[in-house]
Amino acid sequence: MIQIHEPKSPWEIFHKDWVKALLPGEDKSYNAFLVLVDRYSKTPTFLQFHKDDTAMDIAIIIWNKFISHTSLFQNIMSDRDPKFTSALWTNLHNLFGTKLSFSTSYHP
């Protein structure tokens, strides 16, 4: 199991997960959101998406709606969602010097 250090200040480490089981709305309405939780303060942030958004769409929204208003995190904990295991996200984390850590698979 990977040991994650405790952050010393807000905005260092985030956990993320999707909520995709929203009631259907209009065709252009958002039907999913991403929950980002700051490990230090336990503060949640909710970002609206569409279920069919690409990894690039998600990266742009996270940058514009979250990182540009806070700061660049050091580590983000994620499940193994294909949109976050893509080459795009690997390259972004390498570019910014941040780390993407994956949680273990769910075993019922």
Residue entry with tokens 């050091």: 74
Kindly report, residue by residue over 6-57, the tens digit of the pLDDT: 888 888 888 888 887 766 666 667 888 889 899 999 999 999 998 888 889 9
Of 59 and 20, more confident: 59
d(CA 23, CA 91): 34
d(CA 78, CA 34): 11
**Helix (H/G/I), strand (E/B), else coil: 63:** helix
Residue entry with tokens 């939780």: 37
pLDDT the model gives residue 108: 43
Of 5 and 65, more confident: 65
Kindly report, residue by residue over 72-82, the tens digit of the pLDDT: 788 888 888 88
Classified by CATH at the fold level, domain 13-102 comes out as Nucleotidyltransferase; domain 5 (3.30.420)
